[in-house]
Structure 1
Amino acid sequence: MASEKNLAMMDPEKHIATASNPSLEFEVGEVTAVEQNAQDHAPHQLQRNFKARHVQMIGLAGCIGSGVFISTGEALQTGGALGLLIAYPLICSMALSMLTVLSEATCLFPTTGSFIDHASRFVDPALGFAIGFCEWFGAITVVAAEGSVFPVVISYWTTSVSDAGLMTIYLVVVFAFHVMPNRWFAEFEFYSGIVKLTLMVVVMLTMVAICAGAGNGDEYIGQNYNTLKVFPNGFKGIARCFLLASWATGGQEIMGVVAGEAAFPRWDLPRARVNLFIRILVIYLSAAVFISVLIPYTEPLLLSTSNLASSPFVIAMNYAGIRVLPDIVNVVLLICLCGIGSEELFVASRVQVAMADMGMMPALFKKIDSKGRPWASLLCCSIIAIAFTYMCLSTTGAIAFNWFSSISATTTFFAWMIIPVTNWCMHRALRAQGDTAWSEPYAYKSWLWPAIPIYLFVTTVFTFVCTFWVAVDPIGGADSSGLAADFFEIMLCFPLFVFAYIAYKLFYRTKFQNPRTADLVTGRRRLTKENIEFLDTYGASPWYSKVLSYVRFG
């Protein structure tokens, strides 16, 4: 077997120390999480039956939905090509940093509450409640946001079916996978992820072909760079792109929630981080480049209320004379909408269960049946999601989409600010109590700590301030009667977060956690002997075997 030093060099996912392992004093496989006091598959508990391939596919293809196919069009229209190419790489780097930071705490404490639980135990229970409430509310609004787009995608082919009927079909599909045991949800995410990835590869290759001259277009590709302003709305346009990019690339926090039901978080999360990097490089950044080259920001179809389903990719293909592929794109977009809706219902229900476990919501919501389904929480979240989705019928789909997507995007900013703060406080507690977490075999610790948490916090604060500025002083200005509406369309989650934090703080008189007494036991999941042997074998394997393990999702 290779030495520990050589293993560390062969596998960048691992951080291995040579110190002795005090954790071996515990019984192998001991689990002390609140929601897992018994066995992993005990009745009336959330079950850890998400396999490695499920977690990896969610990391690779999860969150690919209307944000990629549609919001990129509005980002191009608002910020111009250069604004799009500034905002997306920045937000993507923040998303990758966030998952790196989150993985540290989640590998140690893979609880269903994830960073919400971590914020409560290491910083302040009031902070955990505030971000938990906003994350729960934001996840439900995403279900509605995707539902508001569903009828408009169908309108690409026909308008003879009522919007209410189409929304009902969408909701039935979203809810169906949660009526069954959660492994059905995992399988749906896995196979729909394969479909989404296959489509994105085909789309990107098509974009390359169009850029190379394929199609019926007779204009020089990229000529809009010679005739249009670089920044159509100045820095405000870029600031608005930050919000839209966070909607398209945000939601990666789902990996922390999924880890609560994963069989082997230490193996799954670092690999999900690598898959996220691949997704960012191949999908988000490539999409931004191709869209900015192929379509001028003056294109009227980018975000008109009657052509919302005509995504930038579809517009480019139609202009190139490619008639079949746009229909396929829209079919897969329907799958994406249902997939995102199902993911966010999963997140909302699990966050509610975790908050009920922590005493932050009624105990009714932590009830779980013998199949591992949190029925009370699922029912509550479903009812609210149904109400929000049908609310979209009272206004245009574009306006409803903007409101709901903005709520989720600003929630992402709050989560990304809190995660690095929680990470710092966790490190402080581990040092104060002399915990040996980082010296245990295969302990997962970021190589660049604390640089990555600092980068994440600073950039998130910067992008949030820019977004706040655009909300207060919107592009094109606003009269006094519309100023409040414009502000809350973007920043509705801000007053909700502040109110939730202050109200919980005052009512329960919570205090900031003392690092010397912070809980380092509940929910901690140490590696079993079998886990360590598995990682030993993986670390000693040749490099090509490690690469193939990602391809076969082992």
Structure 2
Amino acid sequence: MQSSEVEPNAEAQKALDHGADSSLQRRLVTLHVVMVALGTSIGMGLWLGSGKCLATGGPASLFLGYFLASTIVWALSQSIGEMAVIYPIPSAFVQWTNHFVDPALGFTLGWSYWMLYATGLVNGVQGLVTVLSYWIDSVPVIAVLVMMFVLSLLVNLAPVTLFGNLEIFFSSIKFLWIFIVIITSVVITSGAAPVGDSIGFRYWTTYGFINGFKGFLSVLPTTIFTFAGSESAALTVSELRNPRKAVPKAVRSIWVRLAVFYILGSIAVTITVDPVSEGLFGNEGSGASPFVIAFQNAGLPGLSHSMNFIILISVVSCSLIGSFGGARTAVGLAQIGMAPKICQKADSKGRPWPSIALIMIVGGSLTFLNLNHSGLEVFGWFSNIAALFTLFGWGMISFSHIRFRRAWATQGRTVEELPWASSTYPFCAYWALFWCIAIIAVQFYLSVWPLHEKSSAKTFFVNFVSIIFVIVLYTGAKLWFRGSFLVDLKTVDLDKERRFYASTSDETGQNSGEKPKSRLLEACLQSYRIACGAVKS
């Protein structure tokens, strides 16, 4: 008899599954985590950052940068999926690093990611200012700042289901719109738009790699910033009713957003927008998204205004995810004694008030940097900060997965005992780890020898401050925690903070570690057996 597809009641699920509990509540369902995974990828990085990449590196560099970043994120999702199912805990990868790698690195990763989420509010405000500038000549930045702050605060103080439902709404709109963008881009480049002739791959031929190989390298940090937050879905698992069902579905959906949003999306930009357009975000004195420029130049004002509105929704969505992620990261840090104990507290509705207050105060204060600097300048600062923090985080997620699997094998446990196992291990874990290290090295090179700038201490500090922050934080944490550089895998408690599920099979009746079988295929096979007389009807 087939199991029901309806999500079980949260309390009933707790009666079946146990472990890995916190003061947060399991109010989110499968659709929430899938939409958060989709929604985090469609934000300011894609709509605006692609313009900066196009202007700096050219069409070929933009496409290759997004393709490489896509492979890293796909590999990373495999590690996150496996770890999140068995250890669905607040702050997720922070606690995984603390448990399987080193407490000092866990502390460093936790507060680095917390800073990443805090700076997300800054870029959110700047994104809104840039978007609104398309309609308003002089945008009151302080008003936008207050509006974003209040909105983020209200959503975080509401029950977590409101956050989840908002992400379903926002992600659905963004997901549908990307198809409109791709189809319209084909129409524009073929010369069928009201204004303009056939473009094809003209810009690839004319510009290709702007600034050569160094231009391509300069694109990589921005592409990583575009994908920053794709791991945020892991922070929702502690509030999921059934991680074993929801997380694998989110992992299996990753190829959709990578292929459609970034691979096809990057091609759409390169075949419709001239890299040297004066109004392009990324060029001097610029402000508009490349997608908005494409529609505007093609004589499609209705679509250009609609596109700008979609960007506004995307920026708000990603800012909300940032404040949500920052609060949950603080909860997880408090749970392992790396943040004040008060941050661990939540009310009867599962809202971590102290952690929410902390992220809103710091993030809100940082947003005042928008008042005295240009949008492109602020975007450059914080995209570099976000990219390096993200690379450090992704690297630690991959390394934690490698260490977890080694500990699992060292203590005599088998892959079949995992509630869900990635079939791509160890290739994906090592692939993501290698590229995280490589791109950090690239950013160091660009910080010392920047593109179109003279080397200076100021430029180095602005571009590489994230890693400096990480090194200082790790040094202080290591002096405090002491001990060996890596935890002993033989003594790691593999059942600490673990979620124990009611059975070793998931809702589709498959054993852990196996690929889910199609029910339609199984029914066809059964009919074939009956027809052949293999079994009695």
Aligned length: 504
Alpha-carbon distance in 2 for matches of 1:375, 1:510: 34
Partner amino acid for 2:317? G
**523 and 158 in structure 1: CA distance in 2 versus 1, 3 angstrom threshold:** same
- 1:543 deviates by 5.1
In structure 1, the residue corresponding to 2:500 is in which secondary structure?
A: coil
Alpha-carbon distance in 1 for matches of 2:315, 2:518: 41
Which residue number corresponds to residue 499 of structure 1?
A: 472
Which residue number corresponds to residue 252 of structure 1?
A: 230
Quick check: 2:276–2:283 contact (8 Å CA) kept in 1?
no
Quick check: 2:385–2:465 contact (8 Å CA) kept in 1?
yes
In structure 1, the residue corresponding to 2:67 is in which secondary structure?
A: helix
The RMSD of aligned alpha carbons is 2.1
Matches within 5 A, 1:22-171: 29-33=16-20, 35-36=21-22, 45-171=23-149
Quick check: 1:156–1:307 contact (8 Å CA) kept in 2?
no
Which residue number corresponds to residue 519 of structure 1?
A: 493
In structure 2, the residue corresponding to 1:532 is in which secondary structure?
A: coil
Which residue number corresponds to residue 7 of structure 2?
A: none
Q: Deviations over 1:408-454 (max 9, x none)?
A: 11111111211221111111211222234x223x7322223211111
- 1:474 deviates by 0.3
In structure 1, the residue corresponding to 2:492 is in which secondary structure?
A: coil
**533 and 125 in structure 1: CA distance in 2 versus 1, 3 angstrom threshold:** closer
- 1:503 deviates by 0.5
Which residue number corresponds to residue 358 of structure 2?
A: 380
Alpha-carbon distance in 1 for matches of 2:378, 2:52: 15
Alpha-carbon distance in 2 for matches of 1:189, 1:224: 36
Alpha-carbon distance in 2 for matches of 1:244, 1:536: 42
Which residue number corresponds to residue 439 of structure 1?
A: 416
Matches within 5 A, 1:11-26: none
Segment of structure 1 superposing worse, 159-168 or 206-215: 159-168
Which residue number corresponds to residue 342 of structure 1?
A: 320
- 1:305 deviates by 6.3
Matches within 5 A, 1:116-515: 116-215=94-193, 216-218=195-197, 220-228=199-207, 230-302=208-280, 303-304=282-283, 306-308=285-287, 310-436=288-414, 438-440=415-417, 443-478=419-454, 483-511=456-484, 512-515=486-489
- 1:304 deviates by 4.4
**443 and 86 in structure 1: CA distance in 2 versus 1, 3 angstrom threshold:** same
- 1:307 deviates by 3.7
**475 and 541 in structure 1: CA distance in 2 versus 1, 3 angstrom threshold:** same
Alpha-carbon distance in 1 for matches of 2:180, 2:506: 40
Partner amino acid for 1:504? A
**Structure 2 residue 507 is the aligned partner of structure 1 residue 542:** no
After TM superposition, the score normalised by the length of structure 1 is: 0.87
Alpha-carbon distance in 2 for matches of 1:399, 1:543: 54
**202 and 30 in structure 1: CA distance in 2 versus 1, 3 angstrom threshold:** closer
Quick check: 2:118–2:326 contact (8 Å CA) kept in 1?
yes
Alpha-carbon distance in 2 for matches of 1:267, 1:405: 34
Which residue number corresponds to residue 9 of structure 2?
A: none
**410 and 218 in structure 1: CA distance in 2 versus 1, 3 angstrom threshold:** same
Q: Deviations over 1:159-197 (max 9, x none)?
A: 355111122222222222111111111111111111111
Partner amino acid for 2:156? H
Alpha-carbon distance in 2 for matches of 1:543, 1:233: 52
In structure 2, the residue corresponding to 1:141 is in which secondary structure?
A: helix
Structure with larger RCO (C-alpha < 8 A, sep 6+): 1
- 1:398 deviates by 1.6
- 1:61 deviates by 2.6
**350 and 121 in structure 1: CA distance in 2 versus 1, 3 angstrom threshold:** same
Partner amino acid for 1:235? F
Partner amino acid for 1:419? I
- 1:214 deviates by 1.9
Which residue number corresponds to residue 6 of structure 1?
A: none
Partner amino acid for 2:18? V
* Percent sequence identity over aligned pairs: 27
Partner amino acid for 1:285? I
Alpha-carbon distance in 2 for matches of 1:462, 1:187: 38
Alpha-carbon distance in 2 for matches of 1:113, 1:182: 15
Q: Deviations over 1:428-483 (max 9, x none)?
A: 211222234x223x73222232111111111222222112211111012315xxx2
Quick check: 2:278–2:286 contact (8 Å CA) kept in 1?
no
Quick check: 2:26–2:240 contact (8 Å CA) kept in 1?
yes
Alpha-carbon distance in 1 for matches of 2:41, 2:325: 12
Alpha-carbon distance in 2 for matches of 1:450, 1:226: 39
Alpha-carbon distance in 2 for matches of 1:445, 1:226: 44
In structure 2, the residue corresponding to 1:534 is in which secondary structure?
A: coil
Which residue number corresponds to residue 16 of structure 1?
A: none
Segment of structure 1 superposing worse, 465-474 or 297-306: 297-306
